[in-house]
Structure 1
Amino acid sequence: MKDVIIIGGGPIGIACALECKKRNWNYVVIEKGALTNSLFNYPKNMTFFSTSEKLEIDSIPFISKNPKPNRDEALEYYRRVATSNQININLFEQVGAISKNNIGFEIRTNKGEHTTKKLILATGFYDIPNLLDVPGEDLPKVTHYYKEAHPYAMQDIVVVGASNSSVDAALEIYRKGGNVTMIIRGEGIGERVKYWVRPDIINRIEEGSITAYFNSEIIEITENEVVFESPDGIKKIPNDFVVALTGYKPNFDLLNQLGVSQSDDEKRLPTYNTETMETNIEGVYLAGVICGGMETHKWFIENSRIHAKQIATHIETALAE
């Protein structure tokens, strides 16, 4: 039996592992994909909003050649932190069933079974997209993830959303020769869009380089068109690809299996102690973005890396009893 199992091998999961290692606990990280799988799936040219210092974990320096690091630099940094510190991590292991017993927790995965006294959920939110729930969303031309612009050159592209990811995708595709239309449910470009990018997208829309329909929603996707409702009524436009960057959500299934309670409103905020990060289920802790439920913009690396020390401090007391 492990002292601690951490589900999720992102930056916060790695930070939790470092705290376990310092205390010589018998622990393991279980990650369903590659190391820092969410960061790996970010767009290739993505630049972080935060500086490198704010992305550091365990006071290990993150040296970047840019004022704000990019995806590749972050992947290199967290990989080196994990390998240099010989973090015990099982990659490409998918958690299926998870339950509490009288001595701890049982976890079944696609590769075997584990038992542990304490459990940390650091699963992030990037793996489960918020769906449009419209006819045609399952067509091959629709994606909820954006990697790079090249495949969309000389094509009619609809980008859904007005967040950082949507704006970055729209600008990159436009500059690689794609004909970009943005369909946006709100009245304008999101206020949280990176301050050095927001004027760029607004100017491209105003000059007509990128078409934007505000207060609009897609109602159907076909092989050759996108049908949407706008303030001027139902519209149809030619379309080759839809990049629906409508946000993502945490893995609520794991919370539900364990009995972690959540708020009844649309935010679905999980219950936990803000000092110890322990949930209403004794021995289950939350770390990172999962703490925000559907409010995925509230937690990120720089303000949740402290969770690792909070959790370890509480577990240290519990294991000593």
Structure 2
Amino acid sequence: MKNKFDVLIIGAGPIGIACALECKKRGWSYCVIEKGALTNSLFNYPKNMTFFSTSEKLEIDDIPFISNNPKPNRDEALEYYRRVVTSNELNIKLYEKVLSINKTEGIFNISTSKSNYTSQRVIIATGFYDIPNLIGVPGEELPKVTHYYKEAHNYALQNVIVVGASNSSVDAALEIWRKGGHVTMVVRGDNIGERVKYWVRPDIMNRIKEGSIKAYFNSEITKIDVNTVNIKTPYGSEILDNDYVVALTGYLPDFEFLKNSNITLSTDGKSIPNYNPETMESNIPGLYLAGVICGGTETHKWFIENSRIHAKLIATHIETKEKTI
């Protein structure tokens, strides 16, 4: 029957692709549904981004990932995962958003923006890059504020505030400064993040030390206006001239989607979804979680390199359950 599958996978990122490969190897009927482009999160990464990991740690299903340098960049990763999909002829539907998942009499009914599907099992591998972790201050909705960074050219000669001190914030601050932007960093903590790439951290600290990039530590934005930004510092409040705010304060999984799918979340403030780490099965039998979505608000916990194993764990558990039926 059309649109009826053994396994339906939500999300065509690296982990969703890995799940599809496991299904294909076992001869299961499957379909991957993705609301955006193939590897949509990677596609929306900054154009010049370099991964922290080496290429072999980003490989899936032991398919070699050859890059020009030990640490691949965004474009190389996009090409690698695209070739994995096309060479294996994986069944993926793009630009189709999953609206709801409901289970009735042991079968999952999945409604999307384009169609309806039924499946015996569902894997959610949707990542966390679509919902920005907002600052929550007046003016955050202004057009000059963005929570995503693509490239530096449009910030040349502009007064730019970069919020945060993570890898993405540091990369953006350095790139914008090198393209002629006047960069100020506003950081809630007392230093640049410890998880910043080891070859980049000395660079940003030296730029701050020499005064090329201004940094306010233990500080936060309190208000954003068209031409200025108010910040609170340990030494009092300041008003800075400003053209753009690049607020790279992190992203969150779609918790509402998980809750609407009847997956329970922890109540400790981390909103970690309920799943068995040995099988990746959630509190709903037959509904699995894979990839970074498993970390709740702890989005630094899971990456491509340490969550690739989720695909095999899920496939092995499905096989085991089938043998016991």
Q: TM-score interval w.r.t. the shorter chain?
A: over 0.9
Q: 1 CA distance for matches of 2:207 and 2:295?
A: 33
**Cα deviation digits, residues 126-162 of structure 1 (max 9, x gap):** 1111011111111111000000000000000000000
Q: 2 CA distance for matches of 1:289 and 1:59?
A: 20
Q: Are 1:207 and 2:239 matched, yes or no?
A: no
Aligned to 1:18: 21
Give the counterpart of 2:290 among 277, 287, 290.
287
Q: 2 CA distance for matches of 1:44 and 1:266?
A: 33
Q: How far has the Cα of 1:270 moved from its partner? A: 1.1
Aligned length: 321
TM score, norm. by length of structure 1: 0.99
Tell me which stretches of 4 or more aligned residues in structure 1 moved more than 6 Å. none
Q: How far has the Cα of 1:317 moved from its partner? A: 2.2
Q: Are 1:130 and 2:133 matched, yes or no?
A: yes
Query: Is the 2:100–2:261 Cα contact (8 Å) retained in structure 1?
Result: no
Q: 1 CA distance for matches of 2:12 and 2:322?
A: 23
Over aligned residues, Cα RMSD in angstroms?
0.7
* Percent identity between the two aligned chains: 71
Aligned to 1:162: 165
Aligned to 1:61: 64
* Matched residue type, 1:83: T
Q: Are 1:178 and 2:207 matched, yes or no?
A: no
* Matched residue type, 1:234: S
1:29-68 equivalences in 2 (<5 Å)? 29-68=32-71
1:1-321 equivalences in 2 (<5 Å)? 1-320=4-323, 321=325
Secondary structure of the residue aligned to 1:195 is coil
* Matched residue type, 1:106: N
Mean Cα displacement is larger for which, 297-306 or 259-268?
A: 259-268
**Cα deviation digits, residues 206-235 of structure 1 (max 9, x gap):** 000000000111111100001111111111
Q: 2 CA distance for matches of 1:106 and 1:136?
A: 41
Mean Cα displacement is larger for which, 46-55 or 106-115?
A: 106-115
Q: 1 CA distance for matches of 2:59 and 2:190?
A: 36
* Matched residue type, 2:25: K
* Matched residue type, 1:12: I
Query: Is the 2:59–2:65 Cα contact (8 Å) retained in structure 1?
Result: yes
**Cα deviation digits, residues 279-300 of structure 1 (max 9, x gap):** 1111111100001000000100
Q: 2 CA distance for matches of 1:212 and 1:36?
A: 34
Secondary structure of the residue aligned to 2:259 is helix
TM score, norm. by length of structure 2: 0.98
Structure 2: stretches of 5+ with no match in the other structure: none
Q: How far has the Cα of 1:319 moved from its partner? A: 3.2
* Matched residue type, 1:47: T
Query: Is the 2:163–2:249 Cα contact (8 Å) retained in structure 1?
Result: yes
**Cα deviation digits, residues 12-42 of structure 1 (max 9, x gap):** 0000000000111111000000000000000
Q: 2 CA distance for matches of 1:259 and 1:156?
A: 46
